[in-house]
Chain A
C-alpha cells in the first residue's frame, strides 16, 4: 500500500477547510508516515523533570515508536538519549525508571557510557585497533536527541533536526503551563500519585479532538451526570459538596455554558478551551492559599492566575493541560487504531494538600480505566473507529461555525462550541505531516 508516501498534495487533500477524510483515522500507511514525519516534526511532551530528580535517574518510554530515556545529568541538566546500545542495539535500561549510577552499562557486552551518552569503555579494546569503529556511529556513544527544551520543568523533544524552534512552535499557549506552575506559591511542581494508563482502541486524533469537544457531554455523559444529579437532588444549592460531586456535576452543564466559555486557537494546532470560565471555575475557594499566592506573586498576578481555569489547553499534538485541577493528559499513539493515554497529577510546592487531592481525585474520577465518565467517551471513540469503515460517506464533518475568514488568522478567540479548535488541529496536522516531504517524480 503506497497511496501517501511522497505525495504531499494527496495528504493535504485529506484536510479540507471544513471536514477531514476518514483515512486520517483509519489508514495504517498514514500512521506509519505520522511516526516517521509528523511526530518527528512536532515538539512532543517527554515528561516532567521531577520524574528524574537525582543525577543518574532515568525515565524510559517509547516516543513515536522510538525507545528514548530522560536522564538527569551530574550538572543538573536533563538530557534525552535514545535507549539503544551503540553496539548491537539492546536497550540500556529496561525498567521504566530507576537510577543508573554514574554510567550506563549495556547488559549484553558491557559497553559503558557516561550519563550524557559519551562512550566510556569497551571490553577487548585492542580488538578495535585499526578498525573504523571510532569514525562510525557505533563508536560515538549513545545518540542524543539534540532538540530538547525544558520549559519550567516540562520536557519536550523534537526528533527531527529540521523544524521550528520550541518558543516559536508553542508561542502563547505556553502561558497555560505558566498558569499551572504559578499556582505553586514557590513556582515549582512535582509529579505525584502515580500515572493512570488507558489503552483505547481508537486513533489518537479522536482523543485529541474530543479534548476540545464541548457539545458531547450533554449526550455522551448523560447517564453519569443524570445519576449524579439524581443523587444530589434536594440538597440546598449552597450545601457543601463532596469533592467528587463538585467535580462531576458541572459535566451536566448545557450547550450555552460550553458555548460561552469561549476558546482560542494558536498557530501549529494549539488551543485553550474555556478562556472565560470552565467546569473547573467553581471549586471551593481556599482563603489561606490565596493569601500565600498574593504574598508570592502580588495581588494582581495572583488574581490573574487563580481566576483563569480553562477546561483544557492543548499543546498539539501530545499534551493537554488543566491548570486547575493540576492534571495533564499525555497522548501516546501506538497504532492507527490504538492509543495510550496517560493522566498525571501534580503537587504544587507551597500549596495546600487539597490541591493535590483535587488533581488525583479528578484523574481518578474522569481519566481512570474504571471511570464512569470515561467509559462512554472510550466507547464512542472505539465506535467511531468501527463506524468510519462504512461506505457512502468518507468524510467527517467539522463545519460548525466555519468562517472562511478564519483561514487568514493564525490566532483567534471564538465561541466555545466552534469546531475551529479541531479544524485548527487538522490544519497543523497537514502541515507537519508534509513538511520536508519530497514529491514523487
Chain B
C-alpha cells in the first residue's frame, strides 16, 4: 500500500468507529499527539498538549467507549475526516521512516451538535512485515489553544 493510501485508510477506520483496528496500526512505542501550540510546538514536554498518549492511554480511551456507562457517549459521537492529499515531507533512508503531512477538516457530531476543527496531521510511518505502522500521529490544530468544547473521538 502506498503511504498516502495508508493515511486515507487510517482516517476511514476512525470514521467507521473501528477503534481497535485503528489502534492496531500503531507501533508498540507509537504515540498520538495533539499539541496545544499546534504546528509551532517543539516537543510534548516543554509545553502542554490537548492529548499526548501512548498505547496504554489510547487503549484506555478505546476500552472506555465500549462501556455502556461511558455516559458522554449517549448519544454516541460520530466523526468525519475530510483529508487533503497527503504529501511526503521526509524520508529517512537509514531507518525507512517517512513523514507525511495531511491537511484536514474534521467534524465530530453528537446529537444536534457538531464540532468543526481544521489543521494538519503529521504521520511518522515505519515499514513493518505487515505493512506500514504509525510511530507518531501528530495533529496540529488551527486553534488548539483557544476554548474548545469536548472532543471525544480521535481527530
B149 interfacial by beta-carbon distance below 8 Å: yes
- In the complex, chain B residues whose CB is within 8 Å of the CB of A245: 56
- In the complex, chain B residues whose CB is within 8 Å of the CB of A380: 71
Query: How many inter-chain residue pairs (CB < 8 Å) link A and B?
Result: 102
CB distance from A194 to the nearest CB of B (A): 5
Closest to B60 in A: A227
Contact (Cβ within 8 A) B152 A360: no
A5 interfacial by beta-carbon distance below 8 Å: no
A440 interfacial by beta-carbon distance below 8 Å: no
Choice from B46, B60, B65, B151 contacting A369 with Cβ under 8 Å: B151
Contact (Cβ within 8 A) A194 B145: yes
Number of interface residues, chain B, beta carbon within 8 A: 34
CB distance from B51 to the nearest CB of A (A): 5
Contact (Cβ within 8 A) A199 B149: yes
Closest to A360 in B: B48
B57 interfacial by beta-carbon distance below 8 Å: yes
CB distance from B76 to the nearest CB of A (A): 12
CA distance A219 to B54 in the complex (A): 26
Within 8 A of A (CB), among B48-66: 48-52, 54, 56-57, 59-61, 63-65
B42 interfacial by beta-carbon distance below 8 Å: no
- Interface bits B62-103 vs A (CB < 8 Å: 1, else 0): 011101011110100000000000000000000000000000
CB distance from B58 to the nearest CB of A (A): 10
Closest to A377 in B: B72
Closest to B61 in A: A372
- In the complex, chain A residues whose CB is within 8 Å of the CB of B54: 242
DSSP class of A's interface residues: helix, strand, loop or mixed?
Answer: helix
Given A199-B147, A379-B71, A380-B71, A231 contacting B48 (CB threshold 8 A): no
Choice from A219, A223, A375 contacting B67 with Cβ under 8 Å: A223
Contact (Cβ within 8 A) B50 A196: yes
Within 8 A of B (CB), among A187-216: 193-201
CA distance A365 to B74 in the complex (A): 22
- In the complex, chain A residues whose CB is within 8 Å of the CB of B36: 193-194, 196
- In the complex, chain A residues whose CB is within 8 Å of the CB of B145: 194-195, 197
Within 8 A of B (CB), among A123-156: none
CA distance A219 to B36 in the complex (A): 30
CA distance A194 to B35 in the complex (A): 10
CA distance A149 to B147 in the complex (A): 27
B133 interfacial by beta-carbon distance below 8 Å: no
Contact (Cβ within 8 A) A369 B56: no
CB distance from A372 to the nearest CB of B (A): 5
Closest to A332 in B: B147
Within 8 A of B (CB), among A351-398: 357, 360, 363-364, 368-370, 372, 374-376, 378-380
**Size class of the A contact interface (CB-based, 8 Å):** 35 or more
CA distance A223 to B70 in the complex (A): 5
A414 interfacial by beta-carbon distance below 8 Å: no
Closest to B45 in A: A357
- In the complex, chain A residues whose CB is within 8 Å of the CB of B70: 223, 375-376
- Interface bits A149-168 vs B (CB < 8 Å: 1, else 0): 00000000000000000000
Contact (Cβ within 8 A) A198 B147: yes
- In the complex, chain B residues whose CB is within 8 Å of the CB of A374: 150
Closest to A245 in B: B56
- In the complex, chain A residues whose CB is within 8 Å of the CB of B47: 193-194
CA distance A368 to B151 in the complex (A): 9
Choice from B37, B46, B72, B147 contacting A378 with Cβ under 8 Å: B72
Contact (Cβ within 8 A) B72 A375: yes
B148 interfacial by beta-carbon distance below 8 Å: yes
Contact (Cβ within 8 A) B64 A227: yes
Choice from A196, A242, A375, A376 contacting B56 with Cβ under 8 Å: A242
CB distance from B26 to the nearest CB of A (A): 15
- In the complex, chain A residues whose CB is within 8 Å of the CB of B50: 196, 364, 368-370
CA distance A219 to B74 in the complex (A): 15
- Interface bits A308-343 vs B (CB < 8 Å: 1, else 0): 000000000000000000000000000000001000
A106 interfacial by beta-carbon distance below 8 Å: no
Choice from B34, B37, B46, B71 contacting A220 with Cβ under 8 Å: B71
Contact (Cβ within 8 A) B147 A340: yes
Contact (Cβ within 8 A) A379 B59: no
- In the complex, chain A residues whose CB is within 8 Å of the CB of B63: 227, 230-231
CA distance A351 to B133 in the complex (A): 39
- In the complex, chain A residues whose CB is within 8 Å of the CB of B61: 227, 372
* A residues in contact (CB < 8 Å) with B: 193-201, 219-220, 222-224, 226-228, 230-231, 242, 244-245, 248, 340, 345, 357, 360, 363-364, 368-370, 372, 374-376, 378-380
For this complex, 13 residue pairs linking A to B, each with C-beta atoms less than 8 Å apart, are A193-B36, A194-B48, A223-B67, A226-B67, A230-B63, A357-B45, A368-B49, A370-B151, A370-B152, A372-B61, A376-B72, A379-B71, A379-B72
